[in-house]
């Protein structure tokens, strides 16, 4: 049975909050009892996030949490991140998804390339200001994405 099916099936107050948190993180399709080894890295991160949704004032570092997600699930992920921030937590996201980058309060862009060609601080500031950074590939993609 999926998480969403279980939400309709189990009326118990002890079970519903955990199911709701999984649903809120976009994992409503996941099967109860599904082995962690069958989940993608992004799904495992969201399972962990679901367990954190009632905490306040924490610091989270998410590494590419949108990997493998459908666009609608990316929107849910952004909502979860916003919820954590509204609860007083700090969320640091390492991400290449432009929809998620656009939602950031602050961007740190490293480059100019990847691997041995990277590692230099190209930009640190608000997303709108990033568009003025001529050396940033992220800025170029964001400009074209608008």
Q: What is the 3-state secondary structure (H, E, C) of the chain?
A: CEHHHHHHHCCCCCCHHHHHHHHHCCCCCCECCCCHHHCCHHHHHHHHHHHHCCCCCCEEEEECCCCCCCHHHHHHHHHHHHHHHHCCCEEEEECCCHHHHHCCCCEEEEECCCHHHCCEEEEEECHHHHCCCCCCHHHHHHHHHC
pLDDT per residue as tens digits for the range 83-124: 999 999 999 999 999 989 999 999 999 988 888 888 899 999
Is the CATH code 3.40.50.300 the one for domain 3-105? yes
Domain-by-domain residue ranges, the chain? 3-105, 106-146
Given pLDDT bands bounded at 50, 70 and 90, which one contains residue 12? confident
3-state SS string for 38-71: HCCHHHHHHHHHHHHCCCCCCEEEEECCCCCCCH
Q: Is the per-residue pLDDT at 72 higher than 90? A: no
pLDDT per residue as tens digits for the range 24-47: 988 999 999 999 999 987 788 889
Cβ partners under 8 Å of residue 139, min gap 6: 109, 123, 130, 131, 132, 133
Question: In degrees rounded to 5, what are phi and psi of residue 32?
Answer: -60, 135
pLDDT computed for residue 13 by the predictor: 87
């Amino acid at each position: 049975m999926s998480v969403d099916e279980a939400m309709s099936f189990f009326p118990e107050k002890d079970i519903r909050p955990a199911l709701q948190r999984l649903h809120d993180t976009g994992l409503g399709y996941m099967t109860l009892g599904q082995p962690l080894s069958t989940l993608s890295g992004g799904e495992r991160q969201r399972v962990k996030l679901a367990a954190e949704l009632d905490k306040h004032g924490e610091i989270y570092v998410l590494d590419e949490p949108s990997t493998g997600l459908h666009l609608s699930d990316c929107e849910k992920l952004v909502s979860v991140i916003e919820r954590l921030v509204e609860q007083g937590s700090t969320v640091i996201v390492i991400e290449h998804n432009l929809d998620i980058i656009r939602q950031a309060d602050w961007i740190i862009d490293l480059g100019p390339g990847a691997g041995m060609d990277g590692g230099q601080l190209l930009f640190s500031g608000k997303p709108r200001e990033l568009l003025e950074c001529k050396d940033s590939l992220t800025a170029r993609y964001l400009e074209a994405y608008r």
